[in-house]
Structure 1
Amino acid sequence: MISQQFTVPEHWKWFTEARYGMFIHWGPYAQYGRGEQVLFREHLDQEEYAAQASAWNPEHFDPELWAATAVKAGFKYACFTTRHHDGYCMWDSAYTDYSSARQAPKRDFVREYVDAFRKAGLRIGLYYSWIDWRLPAYFEGPEKDPEGWEKVRSYLHNQVKELLTRYGRIDHFFFDGVWPRNADDLQSVELLAEMRRLQPGILINNRLGYSAEHDGYRADGGVGAGDSDTLGDFGTPEHLITVDQRRLWESCQVTTWRLWSHVFGERWRPADYLLDMLCECAEKGGAHGGNLLLNVGPTADGQLPPEFVQRALAIGKWLEVHGEAIYGSDGGFLTEFITRGRQTTKNNCLYLIIRFWDGRPEMRVADLASKVKAVTLLTTGQALPFEQRGDDLWIKGLPAEAPTHLFPVIRVECEGRPATNQWGRERLWEGDPARVAEWARSQRGTSVYRDGRER
């Protein structure tokens, strides 16, 4: 478990430097175009699904094109679904014939992904689902079917070890789908120890189930994914951005409205919305992470959807200019800035990420206690005049038109690490209310009348 004083080990610093990863949900479920969990959500016929999955043969899968797109889009790592809840394996597993290597494609998609993305300079992540909707023993568990459960548990462990011994260095491992089991059923603590032996520098997520010894027993193994309060190296808030105070964390988010794999007719979030999620993760990051793992669901024939590519490349172009405000940043929230946008910090710089450009020539940044050396409109490289009055910074010479379609960024360079005052540390609905009382009393009085004077 990571404490507030946790120092990121050297072999994990790549994660906090990266800030931005590509999540890839792809498998035979893409043929249905109704989400990666269509087998269960629509309780389809298992035999018919298996037949269609076995016939699936994505002719246009080009992992090098995927990797080149990921690099241009500004991603620093990726995570690929090796097996989702439907049980179909995207590699040549020795433990089943239900795989891309043994069925129609005759290809090890994990191998092709790893080789292409590693060659492109990206860190490698693998996703693996505990749950397999095909196997009754998984749901009956060790109490109802001890022999069947032991076979399933052994199958899961063997496949994870297989993934960690065939493809060189694996940087990031993302478990999912614990329900209805728990960590004690799965022996996930023991598996973690073996994973670290096989891959000493690996980062493993927290979807490992609740353990009676480590967390206190929970019959459902946690809510859905099986997040553990103590097990795992990084938290994985899904469809939301929330800080995990105990460890590193990454928010996993869709580029569409809801579903993870390719869906016919799904609605797409705009590029500025997606970029704002990345900026929010970086702003909230602090020393404990704050990454965005942004998903794409490739088409059944193996292509990245053009709607995703368009949005991803727009963000990538923004990162080419403004990336220093995101990559390796130390979080933000230095001062109250929600009425303008977001903030991040790095070394002696405060970055103002402007979501709402109002066209006025001056901007006040309140509660900045540090002495400022220089202010630059990072978007254009233009040096901006400024004035400090106490803890208020006034930035001047701003253009009437926003200098970028997405978010302009202003870099404020301070003499030391950026620091704030009490108003910056304590926000709306937070902190000591006495400061609010004193502010109201000193500036207007105490009564309900307009001038604050008692009658």
Structure 2
Amino acid sequence: MTEQQRTFREGWKWFTDSRYGMFIHFGPYAQYGRGEQVLFREHLDQQEYARQACEWNPAFFDAELWAYTARKAGMKYACLTTRHHDGYCLWDTKTTDYSSAKQAAGRDFVREFTEAFRKEGLRVGLYYSWIDWRIPAYFDGPEKDPEGWAVMKDYLHAQVEELVTNYGRIDHFFFDGVWPRSAEDLDSIRLVERMKQIQPDILVNNRLGLSPEEKAHADGGGGSGDSDVLGDFGSPEHVIEPDQHRLWESNQVTTWRLWGYTNGERWRPADLLLDMLCECAEKGGASGGNLLLNVGPQPDGQLPPEFVERALQIGQWLEVHGEAIYGSDGGNLTEFITYGRQTMKDNYLYLIIRFWDGRPVLRLADLVTPVRSVTLLTTGQKLEFRQEGDVLWIEGLPKERPTALFPVIRIECEGRPETNQWGRERLWTGDPARIADWARSRGTSVYVDGQPR
């Protein structure tokens, strides 16, 4: 890693320390209550959609309340859809009158968002869609309509430059909707260079267009790409897949599928959402591993109560157990899937227990570092323990689950927690010879006693 890369990494440390952010899909599509892509997916009349978009006026939009909720939920940053695929802009842009500032709402929602979230001490991110379903030139491209495409590209670049110039420090920028254009069509690499001239520490995601030259891509469907050239962080959606080349965050919905507000959508329970956060932290390590958890506000601007309820449950859990998530540097040290997940930080190993079995003793295999102390972080109770070789026995656990969500046990070691071969090599992986040796300790035959007949 070069000295410049180390500097960048230090400037981005807030990202890996945060682990948890709020994604906000908000726009006139909320009026339909059928997700953020209703215009395209239902092939609606373009002019009628535009008429309703221009009349949209979310009277109860309160960015300060959004920001307060995000902070109480334990989130450390937020990303707002400034313009989704329908082309409607949530800021006071000079490039078009199709915006919240020029139409019925008469408000610059991006300004209200950035100011309110900074006031709560949260980092600020902006989402921007390359695609605009209203404009034929985007789909005809430079081959079929070179003049129209040139105008379209200038429009896109001008809007992005407005967003990174007019709203103070922007920490995080999320492109989307690149299909069917390439990085060369979009001139996205040059645009990102310009963005970083204006915002030197900004983190830009990897959805910058298919590039034959770079042999990398990041499409609107969340591909991670296979190069560390295009984009600072990977942005898989609906899945938790670590990106081997860069920082990464998993984009997930709180509902079953859709991002924008949807009438009748089913909601995922708080424990499932928390497990996503824990999985991201467990898999993240020093290369990232964040959860960007989405909410689609109601058409009047209020956060859905179902979201708020779940978010605050997770926030209360983080108030007690946050040290196992924030600033953690990965986990999954030993085989622990039969109980839950693990994270680490410095000399600490955290056991995040999804499946509390009510037994007074927990056996943790394959931790080879000497242990100094064990604490049930959930209650602060010091726990008795004994270490026999590479097996740790934790004693005195309560029969009843001490929290409605996941109890956490903190293990303090004498040094960085380390494991053995069994911890490094898991089921279906590693050297099968170790499994043969383990099986041989029983015997070699198919009979109960393992002895040949």
Q: TM-score range by the shorter chain?
A: over 0.9
Partner of 1:173: 173
Once the two structures are superposed, residues 242-296 of structure 1 have per-residue CA deviations (whole angstroms, 9 ceiling, x without a partner) of 1111110000000000000110000000000000000000000111000000000
Q: Using the TM superposition, give the Cα deviation of residue 57 of structure 1 relative to its aligned residue in structure 2, in angstroms.
A: 0.3
Q: Using the TM superposition, give the Cα deviation of residue 222 of structure 1 relative to its aligned residue in structure 2, in angstroms.
A: 4.2
1:17 aligns with 2:20: no
Q: Secondary structure at the match of 1:386?
A: strand
Pair 1:246–1:352, CA change in 2 (3 A): same
CA RMSD of aligned residues (A): 1.5
Once the two structures are superposed, residues 279-338 of structure 1 have per-residue CA deviations (whole angstroms, 9 ceiling, x without a partner) of 000000111000000000000000000000000000000000000000000110100000
d(CA) in 2 for partners of 1:335 and 1:315? Answer: 25
d(CA) in 2 for partners of 1:97 and 1:264? Answer: 29
d(CA) in 2 for partners of 1:355 and 1:65? Answer: 31
d(CA) in 1 for partners of 2:433 and 2:142? Answer: 57
Map 1:368-383 to 2 at 5 A. 368-383=367-382
2:235–2:249 Cα contact (<8 Å) kept: yes
Once the two structures are superposed, residues 64-99 of structure 1 have per-residue CA deviations (whole angstroms, 9 ceiling, x without a partner) of 011111110000000000000000000011000000
How many residue pairs are counted as aligned between the two chains?
449
Partner of 2:94: 94
2:259–2:295 Cα contact (<8 Å) kept: yes
Partner of 1:344: 343
Q: Using the TM superposition, give the Cα deviation of residue 8 of structure 1 relative to its aligned residue in structure 2, in angstroms.
A: 6.6
After TM superposition, the score normalised by the length of structure 1 is: 0.97
Once the two structures are superposed, residues 191-217 of structure 1 have per-residue CA deviations (whole angstroms, 9 ceiling, x without a partner) of 11111111000000001112121116x
Q: Using the TM superposition, give the Cα deviation of residue 229 of structure 1 relative to its aligned residue in structure 2, in angstroms.
A: 2.7
Alignment counterpart, residue 229 of structure 1, candidates 226, 231, 234: 226
1:78 aligns with 2:78: yes
Partner of 1:314: 313
**Which amino acid in 2 is paired with 1:449?**
Y
1:276 aligns with 2:267: no
Pair 1:223–1:77, CA change in 2 (3 A): closer
Map 1:64-143 to 2 at 5 A. 64-143=64-143
Partner of 2:413: 414
- Unmatched segments (≥5 aa) in structure 1: none
Q: Secondary structure at the match of 2:165?
A: coil
d(CA) in 1 for partners of 2:224 and 2:183? Answer: 10
d(CA) in 2 for partners of 1:407 and 1:279? Answer: 10
Q: Secondary structure at the match of 2:271?
A: helix
Partner of 1:52: 52
Percent of residue pairs identical: 74
Map 1:149-160 to 2 at 5 A. 149-160=149-160
**Which amino acid in 2 is paired with 1:190?**
R
Partner of 1:30: 30
1:333–1:343 Cα contact (<8 Å) kept: yes
Q: Secondary structure at the match of 2:12?
A: helix
Once the two structures are superposed, residues 427-450 of structure 1 have per-residue CA deviations (whole angstroms, 9 ceiling, x without a partner) of 011111111011101x21122222
1:89–1:98 Cα contact (<8 Å) kept: yes
**Which amino acid in 1 is paired with 2:444?**
T
Map 1:244-259 to 2 at 5 A. 244-259=243-258
2:21–2:292 Cα contact (<8 Å) kept: yes
Q: Secondary structure at the match of 1:164?
A: helix
2:177–2:220 Cα contact (<8 Å) kept: no
**Which amino acid in 1 is paired with 2:317?**
W
- Unmatched segments (≥5 aa) in structure 2: none
Pair 1:13–1:169, CA change in 2 (3 A): same
Q: Using the TM superposition, give the Cα deviation of residue 228 of structure 1 relative to its aligned residue in structure 2, in angstroms.
A: 3.7
d(CA) in 1 for partners of 2:292 and 2:451? Answer: 54
Q: Using the TM superposition, give the Cα deviation of residue 377 of structure 1 relative to its aligned residue in structure 2, in angstroms.
A: 0.2
1:178–1:225 Cα contact (<8 Å) kept: no
Once the two structures are superposed, residues 143-162 of structure 1 have per-residue CA deviations (whole angstroms, 9 ceiling, x without a partner) of 00000011111100110001
d(CA) in 2 for partners of 1:8 and 1:439? Answer: 46
Deviates more, 1:226-235 or 1:298-307: 226-235
Q: Using the TM superposition, give the Cα deviation of residue 225 of structure 1 relative to its aligned residue in structure 2, in angstroms.
A: 5.1
Q: Using the TM superposition, give the Cα deviation of residue 227 of structure 1 relative to its aligned residue in structure 2, in angstroms.
A: 5.1
Once the two structures are superposed, residues 381-409 of structure 1 have per-residue CA deviations (whole angstroms, 9 ceiling, x without a partner) of 00000000000000000000010000000
Pair 1:8–1:242, CA change in 2 (3 A): farther
**Which amino acid in 2 is paired with 1:288?**
S
d(CA) in 2 for partners of 1:275 and 1:434? Answer: 37
Q: Secondary structure at the match of 2:113?
A: helix
1:176–1:226 Cα contact (<8 Å) kept: no
Map 1:173-212 to 2 at 5 A. 173-212=173-212
Deviates more, 1:205-214 or 1:393-402: 205-214
After TM superposition, the score normalised by the length of structure 2 is: 0.97
